[in-house]
Amino acid sequence: MFNKRVKIKALLTADQTNYQVTVMGWVRTFRNNQFIALNDGSTNHNLQIVVALGSLDDATIKRITTGASLKVTGTVVASLGKGQKVEVNAETIEILGDSDAEKFPLQPKKHSLEFLREKAHLRFKTNTFGAIFRVRHALAFAVHQFFNSRGFVYLHTPIITASDAEGAGEMFRVTTLPIDGTAPKNEDGSINYSEDFFGKSTNLTVSGQLEGELGAMAFSDIYTFGPTFRAENSNTARHLAEFWMIEPEVAFNDLEDNMDLAEDFIQYLIKYVMDNNKEDLEFLDQRLAEEEKQKPQNERQEFGLLEKLRFVTDNKFERITYTEAIQILLDSPHYKKKKFKYDVSWGIDMQSEHERYLVEKHFKKPVIVTNYPAAIKAFYMRLNDGCEPGKQTVAAMDILAPGIGEIVGGSQREERLEKLEARMADMHIPAEEMSWYLDTRRFGTVPHAGFGLGFERMVLFVTGMTNIRDVIPFARTPKNCEF
């Protein structure tokens, strides 16, 4: 029976011998018609299957090729070879699926990440992507465990929405109207969306935050964890059109509470993976070290992967205001020697190079920057009192991490109805369409706060990868929607 199989990870870690077992997996290599390296995805380590010479006919031997799937029954014995404690002496071998060795794209050799992106449907079979996606799984599990242990309610917010939480306007439209020019139109020539499926213009969500706030006004502590979408024509190693976001919203929290929650959350996720995916992280640490050796000395990262992760878990995050951050950048040798590509002045939306300078060069630890200029932040962020004329700030916070820059963005939300309505008017956000959101301020408003963590950014940070397309199973980017 298939459900009697033993996973290779469990077998390799058990250290037991002299018992019969059935294992199933895919062939990585087959040496000397005698030694099969079998892998089932539960670990990067292969199980050695020993085939007695003469026990298989030539036709079967020819079918045991890289990529073929096998069912093997045999006896677990102590291994005489290096690198594994146990191996299996095969008694029966059944080929479940053939793999044409000449056509199979993943030969037993090193492939470039660029090549593997084109073979994303097969790249899970490699050690690098096996490690990455086991880590991704562990991080996702840890997200739920963290919030569940603290009494949060997991809220499923809509993927199709009529609101634009970020005011960005870069959204994917959802419609059932014809796209051949025959869609019903208003007198001014614009599309008449009253005839559409939902009776109004709708899009794929950019954030579950606004709906999350509705939940927080009843449950106190909620979180969302789901896909979000940005129709941003950005073809970089840091951007995706479809990605996953984690967004807690907490009633009765201020900005400081919000920072504490985010710091605890990030440290918890990293500790969980370090405790439960040690082998995968060690593999990725070694992979990164080899990659760094190929770079010029001045471009190499200061920390190895495991060292960087421990640095985040073992240190309190530095907390500074935006104004302090800008002054640090202006006073920096980097700025004075004109090494920044983008200029620095109060009021700018800091670029990744500025954020990474603060983290990697100045503080050498994760940094939380607070109190950003209101002009560069969203309408729902709480206006700070007592600001200098012309320097209005909001109770926002971004967490900056080494090697990646911003990993978390959040704020205390504006709970004062009149202030929120004035801000929406300033930013030309129609209050009548957001009446449901304003009701949270009309009926029992409370101070509350929340943040968003881009899940792929977190996976990127924890795995040490440098291209965000390598930490999501099937990347959605401009001109790319394969698989």
Does residue 147 have a pLDDT over 90? yes
Q: Which of 253, 247, 192 minimizes the C-alpha distance to 222?
A: 247
Per-residue model confidence (pLDDT) at position 296: 84
Q: Report percent pLDDT > 90 for the chain.
A: 82
How do the domains of the chain map onto residue ranges? 2-106, 125-171+206-470
Per-residue model confidence (pLDDT) at position 284: 97
Q: What is the pLDDT of residues 18-66, one digit of tens each?
A: 999 999 999 999 999 999 999 999 999 999 999 999 899 999 999 999 9
Per-residue model confidence (pLDDT) at position 457: 94
Question: What's the CATH superfamily of 125-171+206-470?
Answer: Bira Bifunctional Protein; Domain 2 (3.30.930.10)
274 backbone dihedrals φ, ψ, rounded to 5°:
-65, -30
- Rounded Cα distance between 80 and 257, Å, is 57
- Rounded Cα distance between 378 and 452, Å, is 13
Q: Report percent pLDDT > 70 for the chain.
A: 98
Q: What is the pLDDT of residues 346-390, one digit of tens each?
A: 999 999 899 999 998 999 889 999 999 999 999 999 999 988 888
DSSP per-residue letters across 150-177: TT-EE----SEES--TTS-----EE--S
- Rounded Cα distance between 52 and 42, Å, is 26
Q: What is the pLDDT of residues 252-265, one digit of tens each?
A: 999 999 999 999 99
Per-residue model confidence (pLDDT) at position 199: 94
Does residue 146 have a pLDDT over 90? yes
CB 89 within 8 A of CB 75: yes
Distances in Å between the Cα of 158 and the Cα atoms of 223, 226, 247 are: 13, 9, 13
Cβ partners under 8 Å of residue 398, min gap 6: 355, 368, 369, 372, 406, 408, 409, 410
Stretch 118-130: mean pLDDT: 95
Both tokens of 425, joined, read: 């008017």
Q: What is the pLDDT of residues 273-305, one digit of tens each?
A: 999 999 999 999 999 999 888 888 777 777 899
- pTM, 2 dp: 0.94
Both tokens of 244, joined, read: 């996953």
- Residue 302 per-residue DSSP state: S
Per-residue model confidence (pLDDT) at position 167: 56
Residue 188 CA, chain-centre distance (Å), reads: 43
Chain position carrying tokens 């700030």: 393
CB 267 within 8 A of CB 313: yes
- Rounded Cα distance between 435 and 398, Å, is 28
- Rounded Cα distance between 398 and 355, Å, is 10
Q: How confident is the model at residue 2 (pLDDT cuts 50, 70, 90)?
A: low
Does residue 198 have a pLDDT over 60? yes
Question: What's the CATH superfamily of 2-106?
Answer: Nucleic acid-binding proteins (2.40.50.140)
